[in-house]
Chain A
Amino acid sequence: MPGSPTDLPTPADVQRLLSLPDYLDFQGQLEDFHGAIHVWVGGTMGSVPRAAFDPIFWAHHGMIDRLWRLWQIRHPTVPMPSDLMNRALPPFPMTVADTLDIKALGYRYASATTHAVPG
């Protein structure tokens, strides 16, 4: 069974995370958000070699990627470590720096959506 819903990060926690001005500080705290959800869900999600077999893994990592994007939008001029940016990402012919522009990767995150049905 997962943990209590009260143990999950709150909107205020997320806002504190996104307000961190330093990249390495943000990275460390985001990594703890990531690990916290794996621990909270438990079961298959709580084991590194098996976590990706749980369908919620993909929704969780989509959210972590979205938080990373939201931080980039808020801090567009913060320098990031060059050794990290130049790191290769085999088997893809890319470096970390090549992944920063998500539009080039073919996706985007909406800030809100609304729906209307005629009739």
Chain B
Amino acid sequence: MAITLELERPDPADEFSRADLEFRGVDHAGPSFEARLFLDNPNADASMARDESEGYAGSFHVFGHGGCFGELGHCDVRDEPRSVYDRRPPHPLTPQFKTVIITDSLRRVMQTAKRKKTFTVTVVAVVSEGPGLRAVGGDPLKFESVSLITFQDPSAAGIPLPQVVAQH
């Protein structure tokens, strides 16, 4: 249960003070799990030490729905356009957005093999085990894209405008 993606490195002249990996469209309909992130370590798996020497950069967590308990169609997320007057919140199973702050880890990557233009992000899903969980088949790790965003001054007034470095 791992996905490896390649992203462009930031420009070495970009003296970022913060770097985020943003995951869009994260599915949370299945079991709960932790998604561990390893940089430049495509062989990472669930047994890999969460240590900076292994490229570990942090994790995000999915509190999963654990399967659909309703009638057929109950858990279907419909993407059809809605009226501007429709103030209902989005469907509870709308895919999620996750941000992991990887500033120090990315700086370590930037110090290695400086001629390389890219680095890899390996996402390893570690499923929460327990007697109360219903078995759900398949790989729970599904997302639409991941982006690397760097900020030069996140403490500047207001919300900083991100510089999108790369997206997959």
Contacts and interface: CB of A to CB of B under 8 A. Distances in A.
Contact of A47 (B64, B89, B97, B101): B64
Given A39-B33, A46-B31, A32 B128 contact: no
Contact of B32 (A1, A22, A29, A46): A46
B130 interface: yes
Interface in B78-104: 87, 89, 97-99, 101
Interface string A1-36: 100000000000000000001101100110010111
Interface residues of A, number: 26
A35 B128 CA distance: 11
Contacts of A25: 99
> Which has the most chain B C-beta neighbours within 10 Å: A28, A44, A47?
A47
A49 B28 CA distance: 13
Interface string A87-100: 11000000000000
Interface residues of B, number: 28
Interface stretch (B5-13, B39-47, B112-120, B131-139): B131-139
B168 interface: no
B65 A34 contact: no
A89 to B, nearest CB: 10
Contact of A29 (B31, B99, B155, B159): B99
Nearest to B69: A49
Given A25-B99, A35-B61, A46-B130, 20 more contacts: A28-B97, A29-B101, A32-B98, A36-B61, A39-B62, A39-B63, A39-B128, A42-B32, A42-B129, A42-B132, A42-B133, A43-B132, A45-B132, A46-B64, A46-B133, A47-B64, A48-B65, A48-B66, A50-B66, A51-B63
18 contacts: A1-B129, A24-B159, A28-B99, A32-B60, A32-B61, A38-B63, A39-B33, A39-B128, A42-B128, A42-B133, A43-B130, A44-B130, A46-B133, A48-B65, A49-B65, A49-B66, A51-B63, A87-B89
Interface of A: 1, 21-22, 24-25, 28-29, 32, 34-36, 38-40, 42-51, 87-88
Interface of B: 31-34, 60-66, 69, 87, 89, 97-99, 101, 128-134, 154-155, 159
